[in-house]
């Protein structure tokens, strides 16, 4: 009986974690007036007791409706609380406190257009009309984003079926599917993505399903950029013996603040990467390669094709998603740049963590204890030590096994151990590694010493 209970609760747990919210509906964009008109239905919403529905503060809600087409009363219109760029909404209901599995919403927003004019600042959270394009990343909450308060988790990657009508423009892109020309376009994705919207009047180039949007890059240079992307993708897929399935979208966009000449800022909403001020024609050098820095950057980002939202659950979620992605970028650097550059990278990472304090992985209680330095420096260095100890092949086999486990379970250190055994690593040797590099009081120093010794 106990076993049955455990099995049932595991099933329920994995359902909650891996349920994908679906968004369906219509978007109308008026590029000349800076208007967004949206009508959406959200379904397959997991049961969350302590929830908020987040919507950009510039959006005015017409109404929420339930599956019976009845109005739903809600809190947040008067004296609503802000969260980032959004206002928090919750439903007023006597019968239930959890968020319903499905609801509909209609809303409208008007935004300023910065055409030859500037805002003092620009960042990923702004719905930016610049007279040519509209940029609305998931961070803006231009579509309803669900916040799970007790887990402090934003649910913003949805599968979608969305029709976009555009006035004053001719091209629309929604993250995860190919950009489309025309005044009315229909976008469908069965894989969940954060919904970055990029629309307006622009051109794009395509190669093997990968795209560069809104840039006057010439065909020859575009091909070279795509060649580099292809090399990184095929390397990653050879490490993990799994096909690279995501198409990559590089977007050139114009910031709405005044920027120093030559300066550039970018953001990514995987698998899209947006840059401003970057000359795509100069992305590759005379030898036809992107810079070593970009090999590392793209290596990390593209590794999220494998270790992304699929492993983002549990206390160690940042380690599984970010540290493994970054560890894989070391191998991209080693294989596609040179050992010398990898040494520079590793030394820089060591420098960055030498004065920081970390909790060992086995004692992590809260997922945010794995902070930026932990995710992007300590974690990948720990995995590098694992590779130094057991070799690249076995390490790759461990990663492949973790991906298998992640299909139905939340990853833990137990899975790491099981994966090591499955990959032919001796139990005692694994425990020796675990005691020294994970559980030891001086684990950070042990990692630093090991990396230094190897380089």
Q: In the bound complex, what is the minimum distance in angstroms from residue 328's beta carbon to Zn ion?
A: 10
Select 67 or 371, whichever has its Cβ closest to Zn ion: 371
Select 105 or 325, whichever has its Cβ closest to Zn ion: 325
Q: Which of residues 325-354 bind Zn ion (CB under 5 A)?
A: 325
Across-strand partners of 181?
Answer: 171
3-state secondary structure 56-107: ECCEEEEEEECCCCCEECEECCCCCCEECCEEEEEECCCCCCCCCCCEEEEE
Select 322 or 335, whichever has its Cβ closest to Zn ion: 322
Q: Which stretch binds Zn ion (CB under 5 A): 88-96, 98-106, 168-176, 323-331?
A: 323-331
404 — phi, psi (to 5°)? -60, -50
**Separation CA 154–CA 245 (nearest Å):** 25
Q: In the bound complex, what is the minimum distance in angstroms from residue 302's beta carbon to Zn ion?
A: 10
290 — phi, psi (to 5°)? -75, 165
Per 3-state DSSP, what percentage of the chain is helix, strand, and coil (rounded to 5)?
A: 35, 25, 35
Select 34 or 308, whichever has its Cβ closest to Zn ion: 308
Select 162 or 290, whichever has its Cβ closest to Zn ion: 290
By rule CB under 5 A, what count of residues binds Zn ion? 2
Q: In the bound complex, what is the minimum distance in angstroms from residue 245's beta carbon to Zn ion?
A: 17
Q: In the bound complex, what is the minimum distance in angstroms from residue 34's beta carbon to Zn ion?
A: 32
Q: Which of residues 303-322 bind Zn ion (CB under 5 A)?
A: 322
DSSP assignment of 146-211: EEETTTTEEE-EEEEEEEEEEES--EEEETTS--EESSEEEEEEEEEEE--EEEES--EEEETTEE
Q: In the bound complex, what is the minimum distance in angstroms from residue 307's beta carbon to Zn ion?
A: 9
Select 340 or 372, whichever has its Cβ closest to Zn ion: 372
Q: In the bound complex, what is the minimum distance in angstroms from residue 327's beta carbon to Zn ion?
A: 11
Q: 132-171 mask for Zn ion (x: CB under 5 A)?
A: ----------------------------------------
Cβ–Cβ under 8 Å, residues 245 and 302:
no
Cβ–Cβ under 8 Å, residues 432 and 411:
no
Residues 6+ apart with CB under 8 A from 403: 240, 242, 306, 307, 310, 311
Select 22 or 296, whichever has its Cβ closest to Zn ion: 296
Select 89 or 306, whichever has its Cβ closest to Zn ion: 306
Q: In the bound complex, what is the minimum distance in angstroms from residue 304's beta carbon to Zn ion?
A: 6
Provide the phi-psi class of 428: left if phi over 0, else alpha when psi is between -120 and 50, else beta: alpha
Q: In the bound complex, what is the minimum distance in angstroms from residue 404's beta carbon to Zn ion?
A: 21
Structure tokens of 318? 């940042």
Of the candidates 258, 164, 170, 177, the one whose C-alpha atom is nearest the C-alpha of residue 210 is 177
Q: Which of residues 66-105 bind Zn ion (CB under 5 A)?
A: none
Positions touching Zn ion (CB under 5 A) are: 322, 325
């Amino acid at each position: 009986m106990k076993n049955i209970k455990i099995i049932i609760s595991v099933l329920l747990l994995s359902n909650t974690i891996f349920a994908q919210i679906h968004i369906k509906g219509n978007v109308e964009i008026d590029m000349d007036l800076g208007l967004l008109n949206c009508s959406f239905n959200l379904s397959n919403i997991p049961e969350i007791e302590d929830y908020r529905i987040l919507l950009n503060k510039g959006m005015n809600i017409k109404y929420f409706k339930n599956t019976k087409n009845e109005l739903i009363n809600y809190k947040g219109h008067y004296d609503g609380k802000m969260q980032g760029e959004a206002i928090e909404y919750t439903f007023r209901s006597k019968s239930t406190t959890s968020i319903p599995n499905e609801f509909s919403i209609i809303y409208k927003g008007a935004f300023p257009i910065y055409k030859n004019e500037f805002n003092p600042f620009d960042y990923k959270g702004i719905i930016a009309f610049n007279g040519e394009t509209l940029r609305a990343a998931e961070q803006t909450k231009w579509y309803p984003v669900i916040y799970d308060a007790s887990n402090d988790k934003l649910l913003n990657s949805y599968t979608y079926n969305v029709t976009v009508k555009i006035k004053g423009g001719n091209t629309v892109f929604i993250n995860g599917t190919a950009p489309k020309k025309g005044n009315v376009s229909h976008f469908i994705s069965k894989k969940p993505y954060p919904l970055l919207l990029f629309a307006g009047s622009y051109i794009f180039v395509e190669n093997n399903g990968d795209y560069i949007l809104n840039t006057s890059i010439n065909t020859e240079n575009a091909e070279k950029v795509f060649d580099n992307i292809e090399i990184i993708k095929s390397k990653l897929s050879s490490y993990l013996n799994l096909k690279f399935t995501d198409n990559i979208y590089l977007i050139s966009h114009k910031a709405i603040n005044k920027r120093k000449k030559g300066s550039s800022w970018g953001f990514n909403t995987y698998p899209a990467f947006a840059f401003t001020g970057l000359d795509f024609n100069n992305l590759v050098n005379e030898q036809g390669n992107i810079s070593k820095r970009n090999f590392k950057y793209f290596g990390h980002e593209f590794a999220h094709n494998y270790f992304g939202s699929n492993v983002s659950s549990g206390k160690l979620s940042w380690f599984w998603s970010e540290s493994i992605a970054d560890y894989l970028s070391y191998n991209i650097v080693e294989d596609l740049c040179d050992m010398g550059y990898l040494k520079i990278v590793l030394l820089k990472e060591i420098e960055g963590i030498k004065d920081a304090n970390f909790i060992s992985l086995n004692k992590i209680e809260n997922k945010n204890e794995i902070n930026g330095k932990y995710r992007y420096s300590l974690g990948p260095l720990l995995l590098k030590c694992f590779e130094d100890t057991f070799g690249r092949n076995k390490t790759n086999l461990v990663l492949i096994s973790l991906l298998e486990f992640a299909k139905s379970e939340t990853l833990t250190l137990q899975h790491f151990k099981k994966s090591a055994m499955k990959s032919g690593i001796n139990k005692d040797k694994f425990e020796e590694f675990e005691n020294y590099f994970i559980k030891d009081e001086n684990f950070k120093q042990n990692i630093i010493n090991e990396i230094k010794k190897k380089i």
